[in-house]
């Protein structure tokens, strides 16, 4: 049970993190090691104890802060192995194995034989590079990726996207996936695509924001790898597992 003192509580958070720099700054503050957390907390305690106004305020409430945080002995679990189809990975101290997963074959891979690629005309060059990156990244992952059915739109209006996709879904009954490349982060367009593909014409869908890769050729490969992992899961594939029982 955690009890919050209203006078010491503040609403925090960012409703929209559209800038990558802002997101990186927030993640850097959140993803800290235990030692960094300890140093930040003890530094805060020293600042409060060394500030006469803060000390007086706490004393007036009958509160006293200790000079150190509460220490307890915790249980340290052994590192679990991450099993792919033919290899096993022991994660490092950062517990991140995303790079290794893209270099090995997942436990089960679903071939992507029939899929629809939708994008506005002005993103033609970017989409061409994206498809090439997807075809290159799928090889080490053991994933078969056929050529998509291409639907190039004259503009990126919501109505244009929805009507065009709806027409294609009405004609094609073997589609496994609808992949849409949109010009920018537009919540209305994203929600409309997801509603169409989840409610009216149930089919897995993937939406890529062109701004995440535009002007960053080196980032295209990383985005393609992550997209393929997501697509494999949406098609029913299994990326990795751990030994059972733990």
- Lowest mean pLDDT: which of 42-51, 69-78, 221-230? 69-78
Q: How many CB atoms sit inside 10 A of residue 229's CB?
A: 20
What does the angle CA 179 – CA 162 – CA 154 come to, to the nearest 5 degrees? Answer: 80
Q: How confident is the model at residue 12 (pLDDT cuts 50, 70, 90)?
A: low
Does 156 score more than 80 pLDDT? yes
What is the Cα–Cα distance from 110 to 236, expressed in whole angstroms? 7
Residues 114 and 172: beta-carbon distance below 8 Å: yes
Q: How confident is the model at residue 17 (pLDDT cuts 50, 70, 90)?
A: low
Mean pLDDT of 18-41: 77
Q: How many CB atoms sit inside 10 A of residue 148's CB?
A: 19
Mean pLDDT of 97-101: 82
What does the angle CA 23 – CA 133 – CA 163 come to, to the nearest 5 degrees? Answer: 80
Mean pLDDT of 128-153: 92
What does each C-alpha distance from 122 to 118, 128, 130, 147, 154 come to in angstroms? Answer: 12, 12, 14, 21, 8
What is the Cα–Cα distance from 181 to 191, expressed in whole angstroms? 14
Residues 113 and 241: beta-carbon distance below 8 Å: no
Residues 143 and 228: beta-carbon distance below 8 Å: yes
21 or 206, greater pLDDT? 206
User: For domain 115-234, which CATH number applies: 3.30.1180.20, 2.40.50.140, 3.40.50.2300, 3.30.565.10?
Assistant: 3.40.50.2300
pTM of the model: 0.71
Report pLDDT for 13. Answer: 61
What does the angle CA 62 – CA 63 – CA 65 come to, to the nearest 5 degrees? Answer: 155
What residues have CB less than 8 Å from 80, skipping those under 6 apart?
91, 242, 243, 246
SS3 55: helix
What does each C-alpha distance from 7 to 40, 54, 67, 174 come to in angstroms? Answer: 22, 13, 22, 59
Report pLDDT for 213. Answer: 79
Cis peptide before 191 (omega within 30 of 0): no
Percent of the chain with pLDDT over 70: 91
Does 11 score more than 70 pLDDT? no
Report pLDDT for 20. Answer: 60
List the structure tokens of 7.
């006078």
Mean pLDDT of 154-177: 90
Does 47 score more than 60 pLDDT? yes
Residue count of the chain, please give it.
246
Q: How confident is the model at residue 66 (pLDDT cuts 50, 70, 90)?
A: confident
Give the tens place of pLDDT for each residue, 167-204: 998 888 889 999 999 988 788 999 999 999 999 999 99
What residues have CB less than 8 Å from 184, skipping those under 6 apart?
209, 210, 211
In 3D space, the residue among 235, 239, 215 whose CA is nearest the CA of residue 225 turns out to be: 239
Average of per-residue pLDDT values in the chain = 86
């Amino acid at each position: 049970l955690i009890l919050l003192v209203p006078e010491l509580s503040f609403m925090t958070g960012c409703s929209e993190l559209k800038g990558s720099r802002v997101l990186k700054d927030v993640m850097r503050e959140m993803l800290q090691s235990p030692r960094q957390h300890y140093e930040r907390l003890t530094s805060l305690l020293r600042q409060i104890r060394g500030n006469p106004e803060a000390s007086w305020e706490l004393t007036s409430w009958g509160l006293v802060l200790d000079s150190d945080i509460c220490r307890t002995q915790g249980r340290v679990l052994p590192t679990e192995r991450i099993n792919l189809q033919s290899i096993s990975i022991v994660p490092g101290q950062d517990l991140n194995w995303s790079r290794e997963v893209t270099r090995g074959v997942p436990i089960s891979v679903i071939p992507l034989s029939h899929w629809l690629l939708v994008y506005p005309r002005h993103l033609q060059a970017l989409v061409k590079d994206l498809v090439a990156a997807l075809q290159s990244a799928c090889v080490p992952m053991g994933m078969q990726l056929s050529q998509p059915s291409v639907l190039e739109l004259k503009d990126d209006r919501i109505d244009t996207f929805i009507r065009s996709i709806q027409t294609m879904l009405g004609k094609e009954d073997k589609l496994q996936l609808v992949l849409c490349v949109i010009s920018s982060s537009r919540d209305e367009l994203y929600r409309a695509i997801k509603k169409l593909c989840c409610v009216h014409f149930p089919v897995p869908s993937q939406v890529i924001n062109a701004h995440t890769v535009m002007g960053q050729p080196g980032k295209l490969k990383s985005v393609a790898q992550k997209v393929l992992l997501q697509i494999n899961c949406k098609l029913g594939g299994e990326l990795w597992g751990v030994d059972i029982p733990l």
